[in-house]
Structure 1
């Protein structure tokens, strides 16, 4: 990890759900104020989420973000005005393999995101309400996913049976190796995206676009899709409620999203260094 005194952080890329946001999908006032203080200190700030870009617009406005953000785990990078900077689609072959595995599995709802839409075929299940609350809009029912296979942004297996999603992740990985990324953005969501649709690639692209060396970047996250950016950032921070496998891949661990962990980390490891006080994070 780079010493903050030698490589001061110039760009912070943060996950949203489980990191900046509480379980009710809202940020605390402390988190909002801390991000504003970060930006006032001249540090660039952006978001990387498994969400579709249009489901990020409210938080883009709330945090006053004026640089590109990464949706679909990094599959689509968009400017603050919604125009697309970069888009990576899931190969049709990988989409077919994924849908064949997920379809018909008990306790799993299968969703496809394409053309800016959230699509489903099956009757509305309990997970739809959970996702709709987070995204701010509901799915569109389609007879078939086939017409969208050449432009799929993400396929999701959603279930409250978290161990089942772990099993599905292990089964799918070898089937789409080299074609797709498979990761659990949250314990209840298994995401499948294009190979370059990961937060590590998103960080590289955004940092280059902003003219910031990777050693001067910091990232914060809590899910299985966040270590991809942990591995390339100058400073990586895991949330306190993250799974142990995620925490082990970060430089430091902060409090949970119920404890303003993201704000705490920004204050302690980034703003303190910006103000001239040397703070050396405890390496795990």
Structure 2
């Protein structure tokens, strides 16, 4: 793809894991420098992630506003909630009933607490490493079902999670959104808790026309913002079906693809 000159972008919304961060979850000096250069040029840079805002706090203090839970919570750099969406109660019940029939770990995220019933689950240690904090162990999810920001189903069987995603989508129609943020993670969030609506909300909050926004991502929950942004950029390592839904493709997150995108397509 030939280089383009994009002079009108005022807001960039970037995915975090697999996009801004390297595979070891670190922020590379080149990516940080590119974001700082973008901000120095007067362009807003924000993050949208399936992570809870608590797990994005260190990054948000460096970079500003974040959209946690795929947009279920918009939080500014001071930790103040700008917007909050809970999963519809009926959607929670239907999701838990279907997932109970399959060998997957099921977690709830309520505000910024990560709730688990089995702390010895196969995926718990991996998630704790990624989030940077331990789960809250509960005997039952019953007291929390009216205030869920996200449900996660996870296991090492990626084809099973793909099947569950496809099975949940018609079940949750009009109630919630089911999408895989990564191969081993299936997220269920509120209807408005998607990165497309998060981009719209952030653009309105910052008084930026959507045509002057850019979105960068690599996962199954990123095309929602691709379809709303003025320009959309997929990471080089993203699956083909994700790359096809973006206007442009940058380098992988091993190659500082976000910095490449900022330098080539935005600045």
Aligned position for 2:63: 65
From 251, 254, 276, the equivalent of 2:250 is 254
1:92 aligns with 2:83: no
- Structure 2 counterparts to residues 32-181 of structure 1, below 5 A: 32-61=32-61, 64-66=62-64, 68-106=65-103, 108-181=104-177
Distance across 2 between alignment mates of 1:178 and 1:47: 26
**Take 2:209 and 2:240, find their aligned partners in 1: how far apart are those partners?**
29
Deviations 1:135-167 (A, max 9, x none): 100111111111111100000001121111000
* Partner residue in 2 for 1:205: 201
Contact 2:6/2:266 (<8 A) preserved: no
Decide whether the 8 Å contact of 1:119 with 1:139 is kept in 2.
yes
- Give the equivalent residue in structure 2 for 1:10: 10
In the aligned structure 2, how far is the partner of 1:65 from the partner of 1:42?
A: 13
- Secondary structure at the counterpart of residue 161 of structure 2: helix
Residues 1:77 and 1:164: Cα distance change in structure 2 (over 3 Å): same
2:6/2:265 contact within 8 Å kept: no
Q: Structure 1 unaligned runs (5+)?
A: 272-284
Aligned equivalent of 2:22: 22
Kindly provide the CA deviation profile for residues 30-74 of structure 1, in whole angstroms up to 9, marking residues without a partner as x: 11111111111111111111000111101112xx323x3210000
CA displacement 1:210-255 (0-9 Å, x = unmatched):
0110000001001111000000000100111111111111111111
> How far apart are residue 116 of structure 1 and its match?
2.0
Q: Counterparts of 1:6 and 1:259 in 2: how far apart (Å)?
A: 22
| Residue correspondence of structure 1 range 236-275 to structure 2 within 5 A | 236-271=232-267
The alpha-carbon deviation at position 112 of structure 1 amounts to: 0.3
* Secondary structure, counterpart of 2:39 in structure 1: helix
**Do 1:76 and 1:84's aligned partners in 2 also have CA atoms closer than 8 Å?**
yes
> Separation in 2 of the partners of 1:4 and 1:208?
26
User: Does the Cα contact within 8 Å between 1:240 and 1:256 map onto a contact in 2?
Assistant: yes
C-alpha RMSD of matched pairs (Å): 1.4
* 4+ runs deviating over 6 angstroms: none
- 2-side partners of 1:240 and 1:125: how far apart? 32
Q: Does 1:184 align with 2:180?
A: yes
Alpha-carbon offset, residue 4 of structure 1: 6.8
**TM-score after normalising by structure 1:** 0.90
Q: Which runs of 5+ in 2 are unaligned?
A: none
In structure 2, distance between residues paired with 1:163 and 1:255: 27
